[in-house]
Amino acid sequence: MTALSAVVVGLVVLVVTGSFAVSAWADRAALRSRSRVDLLTGALASVVALVVLHQLAPWSSVPVALWLLPVLLVAAGVSGAVLRWPGLPWLRPGRSRRRVLVDAVLEVAVAAAVVVVLVVL
């Protein structure tokens, strides 16, 4: 992996993990997660992004502090999700159960495929 592609992967991971942290802590309605399923899928995407970063980026050429930033963002997102969890409904109001189920199953399937391809193969 070239240095440029490592930077691109790092930036994508920062965006994914940062958006999860923002959605868990935001006060503005446009930014925050509106259901427990939204928080769970955001957490799943963040964990998969960390796996991608771990597998694709050169660990030896990047300072440790830069690796800690996405991990801290995920930790901040999880702590915000834990605090907001009791006050959230399972499903976003106005969304059908079928659509939520299909979206969640597809996201889990894609996440599992990415992890299997990167870690196992």
Written as six digits, the tokens of 96 are: 């059908």
pLDDT for position 119 = 87
Q: Which of 69, 73, 11 is nearest to 42 (CA)?
A: 73
Cβ pair 50, 17 in contact under 8 A? yes
> Beta strands of 1-93 (E only): which ranges?
none
Q: For residue range 15-74, what is the model confidence (pLDDT) as tens digits?
A: 999 999 999 999 887 788 889 999 999 999 999 999 888 888 766 766 777 788 999 999
**Distance (Å, whole) CA 88 – CA 62:** 38
Find the mean pLDDT for residues 76-105. 92
3 or 11: which carries more pLDDT confidence? 11
**Is 38 buried (19+), middle (13-18) or exposed (0-12) by CB count in 10 A?**
buried
pLDDT at 104 over 70: yes
Domain limits, the chain: 3-120
Phi, psi of 26 (to 5 degrees): -65, 145
